Each structure stands twice: as C-alpha cells, then as structure tokens.
Structure 1
Amino acid sequence: MHFRTRIFAISILTVTAVLTLVISLSWSRIMSVELTHLDSRLCIEAKRLIRKRTLHDVNNSAMNIRDLNDTLLSGGRLMTDLMDKLRVNSPSQLMLSVGSAEQGFLTAPDGVDVQDVISRLNWLRAESLTLPHNNKADAVCQLAFFEHQQSRWRASLFQTSNQQSFIAVDIAATTNQLTNTLLTALVVVIPFSLLLSILGAWIISTNTIKPINRLHKAMDKVTQKDLSHRLPEHKEDKEFKMLIDAYNMMLDRLEDSFQQVSRFTADAAHELKTPLTVLRGKLEQAVLSENPSLLDLNAILDEVGHLSAITRKLLLLSQADSGSMALHFEPINITELVDELIADMILLSDELELDCVIEKGLITQGDFVLLRQLLNNLLVNVMRYSLPHKSVTIHARQNESVIEVVMSNACLPISRDVRAKLFDRFYRGEPAHTQGISGSGLGLSLAREIARAHGGDLTLEPSDIEVVTMRLLLPIVK
C-alpha cells in the first residue's frame, strides 16, 4: 500500500470515528434534553387539564360524566390542542385521564384502561407545583417512563388534594422527528466531511512526503565511490530533523569506515610487500647462485616470523572489527603477569630505570594469551621509544571496580597531531621517532581492541610533549 493511500484511509477512518462519536454523544444529549422538556410540558398540560375539568364542572354541574367526557374529548379541540403542544401526529399517541374517584374519570383514547395503566406505573420522580388559586405547593406532578403495546411512553400524573390528571405521550413521535432532522443534516455533513478529510489527507501526505522525497533523492546520489553527499537541514519538523541528522551521521560513519578500510588495505599491502620482497629476493638469489649453501636461512626465518606476526595481528583486528574475537575466559593474576613481563624487560635492557608499584592480588577474568600480548605490546613500546637513562613509571592498582595499569616514559617531543594518530593502524609516528626501530604500527591499535573486548579500555592520557602516558583499565574480579 502506498503511503499516500494509507494517509487517506487513516484520515477517512478517523473522521468517520469522530463523526460517529460526536453523533452518538450529541444524540444522547439531545434526547436527554428533549425528554426533560417533554416532562415539563406534560406537567404543565396535566395541570391545565385539571383547570379545564374544574371549569366544566362549575359551568356544567348538571351534566353527567359521559356527557362531560364527550364535551371535553369528542369535539377534538382538546386533543388537537394537546397534539400541537406535545408534537404528536395522532390521537392514538396520547393517553388522557382527568377527574377523581368520587366524581369519576374522563379518559381517552377509547379501548384503553388508563386507570389500570396508572396503577402499574413506577414513578421516577415528583415535582411540587403551586396552583394559581393557592400559594401553597399542595400539588404534585409525578413522572414515569413505561412501555405499552411495544411503544415507549412518557407520562405525568398531576395530583391535588381532590383531583388528578394524567397525560402520557408516545415518544416515538419525538424520536422520529429528531431522527428525520438528524438524517437531513447528515446528508449534507457526511459528504462535506469526507471531502474535507480527503483534502486534508492530501495536504498532510504531500507535506509529509516532501522531506522523505528529498532523503530518497540524496540516497540515490550515494555510491560506494562517493559518500560525500549530505542532506541539508531546512526548517523541518523535529522528527524529520532527527531522521536527517541520523542519515547524515550514518553517512559520516560509512565514509569513515570506507576510508579506514581503504587505508587499512593499502597499509596492509604495503607492510606485507616488504617482507615478501625480501623473501623473494633471497630465494631468487639462492636459485641463481651456483652455491645454494649461501642461502641465508636465518634472514628468511626472520622475515617469515615478521609476516606471521603481521598476519596474526591483522586477523585479530579483523575479528575485533566484526565483534567475533574468540576469548577463553579464566581467572588471571595481573600482578604476577606484569611482574613476569617486567622481569623479561629488565633482562633485555639494562639501561632502563624503572619505578614500579604493583599492588598484590589484582585478579581479572580474561583470555591469558591476549592479555599477555596486550601488556607485552605496551612494555615493548616503552622499551623501544623511551629515552636512555630516563625513568619509566609502571603502576598497577585497584581503582574502585577496575584494575588500573599506568605506564609512563620519557620520549622525544610528540605533537598533538601525532598523539591523535597513535592508535591508528599501521601508523608509526614521525620518522624521527621510528628511525632504526622495527615494527608494523599495529601494536597499540591491537592492544586497545583487546582491552575493549575484555570490557576495559586503553587510552593515551594528557601529558607533556616529552612524556607518553598510557592508561589500561580492566574489570576486576572479587
């Protein structure tokens, strides 16, 4: 389904639901108000019936009940008047009863035992009214709701001290009238509402799709060779601005990754090319030589070892990048491991002046081989790049929930730009620092990846330009 079509469908469904809810609530409220008004009219008309009956009793005292009933009801004037005031269509939709038990009751319509209907009613409430000839509230109007002959009726019973009048009306007349009025209004409202909803959906979908279309066009311009296209930020809504920012950030990361992969591939090819060229040259020299015994096996073994080390480091870095570095976790005593590596470093160099403070009982969980390689890489860097007869500081301690190993050594001045690249793969610094020192430029980057794989980190701490300070953090095991 197209996005625009979905917007249309949602808009129409929303408008339909709102109209249905509004009509339902309005209908309920209108019916409640109309029935309240009907109750008031019923009480007023019941009160007027008693007055009419009283006047007829006074003026026609000689008439019997039947004659009086004919006078009040058969002429149609009373019924017509009540039908107009109560807005009913037929006399059959009215019930009337007026009189007293002593004088008899006048009832309509014929064939309906109105007194029996009155006797079976459950009255909802009563209202006290004051008659015109009396200042006291000695009259009561009771209201009822009942069903008769499959129709719903509303009734009022007006009682004084000696008389009562009863009027009931079939509310179907009121309901039908309101229903017809509502249907007439809906014939106009519904098409107009649907038209407005379609127009509104079109405007909403058009404005909504604009930034998406711009994002789509920008994505079409992105290729593997060109990741420089960015989506400019206009006055977009907050949600789309977040989407555009996320898209631009994603492109930044992709571009950095592609550039890093390209540099890494080129550097790896360059680093592997040198030992392979040396091996090829020595083998060709031996093949072309008349005396094969001149083959320098030690040099070849050194180059093979160099190739093997680079390949192993590249493999570990590739596993770290993909998050699949295989770790064999076991308890490792960092105190003993650092002491052992420092002892080996002292044997290899007598010129180093060490300041070592190693706390006892520093235990972590990790891969022994990889953590040994991490610490060995750091100590080898200290040995290679530390200035002669300068102090080297190695401190290992527990810092809250981590093991903290800090190594600091004096060196030739290193600029801020160089320091920012020390963890880049195959970066070995300025030629002045690396002259006569072998290496591949992978040691520090591999050490940091191993630390992060163990839940720790390796960072270069701020220091003087003639000092390098490395801080290693590893989670502690209690």
Structure 2
Amino acid sequence: MYFRTRIFAISILTVSAVLAVVITLSWSRIMKVELDHLDARLCMEAKRIMPSRLQKKLDANNSPSNLSISSDTQLSGSRLIDDLVDKLRVSSPGQLMIFVESSESGILTTSEGTNVQDIISPLNWVSADLSEPTNKTTPLCQFAFFEHQQNQWRASLFQASHTQSFIAVDVAATTSQLRSTLRAALIVVIPFSLLLSILGAWFIAATTIRPIKRLHKSMDMVTEKDLSHRLPEHKEDKEFKMLIDAYNTMLDRLEDSFQQISRFTADAAHELKTPLTVLRGKLEQAVLSENPSQLDLNAILDEVGHLSAITRKLLLLSQADSGSMALHFEPINITGLLDELTDDMELLSDELVLDCSIERALMTKGDSVLLKQLLNNLLVNVMRYSLHDKGVTIQARQNESAIEVLISNVCFPMSNEIRSKLFERFYRGEPEHTQGKSGSGLGLSLAREIARAHGGDLTLEPSVKEVVTMRLLLPIVK
C-alpha cells in the first residue's frame, strides 16, 4: 500500500468515526430533551383530563408551581382522544393509553382493548415535584417508563384528592417526526461531510508527501560518481528537517568514505609500484645480462621485504576497518617490551639521546605480536623524523585503570594542517620533513588501529610546533 493511500484511508476513517460519534451524542442529547418535554406535556394533559369540578378547585387552590395548567374546556369521548392525539403528536389512538378514576364515581375514562389498571399497578413511579408534598391533598404528578407489546412507553400519573388520571404514550410514535427530520438532515449532511473529508484527506496526503517526494528525487540524483548533491532545507516540519539533516549527514559520511577509499587505492598503487618497478628492472637486467650470476639478490630481497611489509600492513588495516582483526590475548609485560625496544634504539643510533621514565611491572592482556608492532611503529617514527641531538622522552605509567605511554620528540616545525593528517594512510608529511627517508606512511594509522582494537587509543597531544607528543592508552585487562 502506498503511503499516500494509507494517509487518505486513515483520514477518511477518522472523519467518519468523528461524524458517527457526533451524531450519536447529538441524538442522545436530543432524545433526552424530547423526553423531558414529553414528560411535561403528559403531566399537563393528565391534569387537564381531570373532572371539571376538581380541575377548577386545583386551579384556585393547589396548582403546582412547575406545571402549566391548561384552561381548555373539559372534553370527553372521541373528542378527547382526537385532541390528545393531536397535542401529543401521535398518529393513531392505539398509541395512547388513558385512564381516569375517582373514588366517588369509579372509572370515568379508560382506553379500549387494554387493561390499564394492570399496567399501572406494577410501575415504579418517579415524582416530578422538586419538593415533597406538605399534605395528602396536594396534587402530585409522577412519571414512569415501561414496555408494552415490545414498544417503549412513557406514562404520567396525576393524583389529587380522591381522583387520579393516567396518560401513556408510545415513545416511538412521539419521536417518529424527529427521526424523520434527522434522517432527512443526514441525507444531506453525510454526503457533504464525506466530500469535505475526502478533499481534506487529499490535501493532507499531498502536503505530507511533498517533502518525501523531494527527498526521493534528491536520492535519485546521487550516484557513485557524484555524492555532492545535498537536499536543501525549506520551511519543513521539524520531523522532516530531522530526516533531511540525517540524509545530508549520511551523504557527507559516504562522500568522505569514497574519497578516502579513492585516495587509499591511489596511494597503495603508488607505494606498490615502486618496489615492483625495481624488481622488474633487476630481473630484466639479469635476463639481458650475459652473466646471470651478477643478479643483485640482496636488492631484490629488500624490495620483496618492502612489498611484504606493505601487504601485511594493508591486510591489518583492512581487518581493522571490517572489525575482524584477530587478537590472541595473553599477559603482556609492557615494561619489558619498552625496555627491549629502547635498547634497540640506542644500538641503532649513537647520536640519539633517550630520556626514559618507565614504571615497573606494567602488565596488561593483548596480542603480543600486534602490541610489539604498535610500539615499534611509534619508536621507528621517532627515529626517522626527530632531531636526535635534541633528545626523545619516553614515559610509561599506570593511570587509574589504563597504561599511559607518552613519547615526545623534537622535530622540524610542523603546522596544524600537517598534524591533522599524521594518522591518514600513506601520508608522509611534507618533503622538508621526510628528507628522502623511506617509509610507506602506514605506520601511525596502523598503530592507532591496533590500539583501538585493544580498547585503547593513540592520539596526538597539543604542543609547540617543534615538538610531537604521542599519547598511547591501553586498558589494564585482568
């Protein structure tokens, strides 16, 4: 199902449900008001059909304040029935019940074909007066609701002195005209309401879909060769602004990833091209030479080693990117590793001045091969790019639940732009810093990935332009 269709259907159902509830509540309220008016009319008609002598006495002395006493002439027989049919708005005498009784004269009037006395006796009467009568001679009008011949009836009983009058009417008969009126109104209201709801649902659906269409159109414009397109923000609702922001942020990340992959591929091809070219040249020279024994095996072996190192680093970086770097955890003595590597550094360079402050018994758990490669990459980087006579500072200590290693060296002034790229793959700095030194530009990026794979991190600390300080954190795993 289309989203537009779903919104359209929900809007139609909502309007229909609201319309049904409004009609139901309105009809209930109308019926209550109609029944209240019917009770008042029944009470008035029950008092009006009292015998003339008693009627005059009630008019003069004991007329209840909440009843409207009619001044009509006393009627009898068929004229009385016709008059009640007209005033109570029923269609036939069969929808009325009348009973008038006097203790002196007995039954004065009663409906034919129905034993009204048997109906009156079991009814539960409710007084219409707001206050209790003060004495037995005060007239009392009462109401009751009952079922007769599967129809609902409303009745009024008026009692005064030794006389009582009873009138009952079929509720369906009195409300038939109201029902007809409501039915005629609904024939006009319901189609008109449905038409308005359809138009409103269409407008809501079209308004809601518009930002989604723009987003879809923008997505169609994005290809692997063009990730620069962004969805502009108009006067959208907050929810759609959040969606647009998330979409643009996603494109930013995708574009950065594609650019990084592109640079990585180009740099990898460049780095691999050099040793392969050297190898090819050496082999071609040996093939063309009259004396193949003059093949420079040491140079070829060096280039093969260079290729193997680059390949191994690329494989580890690929595993780190996919989160599948295999780690073989075992207890590692970081103090021993640093002591071993610093001793090698002093042997390789007589000019290098080392200032070491390494705490004893710094133990953690990790992959011994990868952690040794991490520390070796950091120290080799120091050996290549530091000013040896200025000194190198190495500090290692336990900092709460982690081992902290700080390696600081003095180098040629380095701008913030260069510092921000030090961990990028294949980045080797500016020519004035490298000065023809060999390297692949993968050492620092691989060292950081190994640290993160162990739950730690490798960062560049803020310092002056002539100083580079690397901070390595490794968690202590017991």
Place the TM-score, normalised by the shorter chain, in its bin: 0.7 to 0.9
Q: Which residue of 2 aligns with 1:309?
A: 309
Aligned residues of 1:335 and 1:360 also touching (Cα < 8 A): yes
Q: Percent identity over the alignment?
A: 77
Q: Which residue of 1 aligns with 2:287?
A: 287
From 97, 100, 112, give the equivalent of 2:99.
Answer: 97
Structure 1 stretch 275-284 or stretch 391-400: which is displaced more? 391-400
Q: Which residue of 2 aligns with 1:65?
A: none
Cα separation, 2, equivalents of 1:136 and 1:351: 130
Q: How does 1:189-200 map to 2 (within 5 A)?
A: 189-200=189-200
Cα separation, 2, equivalents of 1:50 and 1:362: 114
Q: Which residue of 2 aligns with 1:75?
A: 77
1:443 partner amino acid: G
Q: Which residue of 1 aligns with 2:39?
A: 39
The alignment status of 1:126 with 2:114, answered yes or no, reads: no
Note the C-alpha offset of 1:130.
Answer: 8.1
Structure 1 stretch 378-387 or stretch 338-347: which is displaced more? 338-347
Three-state SS of the structure 1 residue aligned to 2:129 is: strand
Cα separation, 2, equivalents of 1:51 and 1:311: 121
Cα separation, 2, equivalents of 1:232 and 1:333: 55
Note the C-alpha offset of 1:465.
Answer: 0.6
Q: Which residue of 2 aligns with 1:61?
A: none
Note the C-alpha offset of 1:406.
Answer: 2.5
Aligned residues of 1:131 and 1:137 also touching (Cα < 8 A): no
Q: Which residue of 2 aligns with 1:173?
A: 173
Cα separation, 2, equivalents of 1:219 and 1:405: 47
Structure 1 stretch 189-198 or stretch 307-316: which is displaced more? 189-198
Cα separation, 2, equivalents of 1:36 and 1:308: 101
The alignment status of 1:111 with 2:117, answered yes or no, reads: no
Cα separation, 1, equivalents of 2:288 and 2:85: 130
Aligned residues of 2:353 and 2:391 also touching (Cα < 8 A): yes
Cα separation, 1, equivalents of 2:418 and 2:137: 103
1:413 partner amino acid: P
Structure 1 stretch 327-336 or stretch 220-229: which is displaced more? 327-336
Structure 1 stretch 455-464 or stretch 275-284: which is displaced more? 455-464
Aligned residues of 1:129 and 1:137 also touching (Cα < 8 A): no
> Structure 1 residues 391 and 47 mapped into 2: Cα distance closer, same or farther (>3 Å)?
farther
Q: How does 1:181-260 map to 2 (within 5 A)?
A: 181-260=181-260
> Structure 1 residues 73 and 393 mapped into 2: Cα distance closer, same or farther (>3 Å)?
farther
Q: Deviations over 1:324-374 (max 9, x none)?
A: 333334454444444443344344344443343444555545433323322
Aligned residues of 1:129 and 1:138 also touching (Cα < 8 A): no
2:475 partner amino acid: P
Q: Deviations over 1:168-221 (max 9, x none)?
A: 222112443333222212211121122212222332233333333333333333
Q: Which residue of 2 aligns with 1:427?
A: 427
Report the TM-score, using the length of structure 1 for normalisation: 0.87
User: What is the CA RMSD across the aligned residues, in angstroms?
Assistant: 3.1
1:91 partner amino acid: P
Number of paired residues?
464
The alignment status of 1:470 with 2:470, answered yes or no, reads: yes
Q: Deviations over 1:374-426 (max 9, x none)?
A: 22222222222221133323333444444433222221110011011111110
Three-state SS of the structure 1 residue aligned to 2:389 is: coil
Q: Which residue of 1 aligns with 2:449?
A: 449
> Structure 1 residues 47 and 55 mapped into 2: Cα distance closer, same or farther (>3 Å)?
closer
Cα separation, 1, equivalents of 2:476 and 2:163: 99
Instruction: Give structure 1 stretches of 5+ with no counterpart.
Output: 59-70
Note the C-alpha offset of 1:95.
Answer: 2.0
1:30 partner amino acid: I
Cα separation, 2, equivalents of 1:201 and 1:156: 50
2:79 partner amino acid: R
Cα separation, 2, equivalents of 1:379 and 1:372: 11
Structure 1 stretch 239-248 or stretch 418-427: which is displaced more? 239-248
Note the C-alpha offset of 1:131.
Answer: 12
2:380 partner amino acid: V
Cα separation, 1, equivalents of 2:278 and 2:295: 13
Report the TM-score, using the length of structure 2 for normalisation: 0.87
Three-state SS of the structure 1 residue aligned to 2:128 is: strand
Cα separation, 2, equivalents of 1:338 and 1:159: 115
Note the C-alpha offset of 1:53.
Answer: 7.1
> Structure 1 residues 181 and 376 mapped into 2: Cα distance closer, same or farther (>3 Å)?
farther
Cα separation, 1, equivalents of 2:168 and 2:335: 101
Cα separation, 2, equivalents of 1:393 and 1:383: 12
The alignment status of 1:86 with 2:88, answered yes or no, reads: yes
> Structure 1 residues 360 and 102 mapped into 2: Cα distance closer, same or farther (>3 Å)?
farther
Three-state SS of the structure 1 residue aligned to 2:381 is: helix
Three-state SS of the structure 2 residue aligned to 1:441 is: coil
1:215 partner amino acid: L
Cα separation, 1, equivalents of 2:158 and 2:143: 9
Three-state SS of the structure 2 residue aligned to 1:128 is: coil
> Structure 1 residues 126 and 280 mapped into 2: Cα distance closer, same or farther (>3 Å)?
same
Q: Deviations over 1:228-277 (max 9, x none)?
A: 22222222222222222222222222222211111111100000000111
Q: Which residue of 1 aligns with 2:26?
A: 26
Structure 1 stretch 41-50 or stretch 255-264: which is displaced more? 41-50
Q: Deviations over 1:417-458 (max 9, x none)?
A: 101111111000011111142210011111222223333322
> Structure 1 residues 105 and 329 mapped into 2: Cα distance closer, same or farther (>3 Å)?
farther
Cα separation, 2, equivalents of 1:179 and 1:362: 93
Structure 1 stretch 44-53 or stretch 425-434: which is displaced more? 44-53
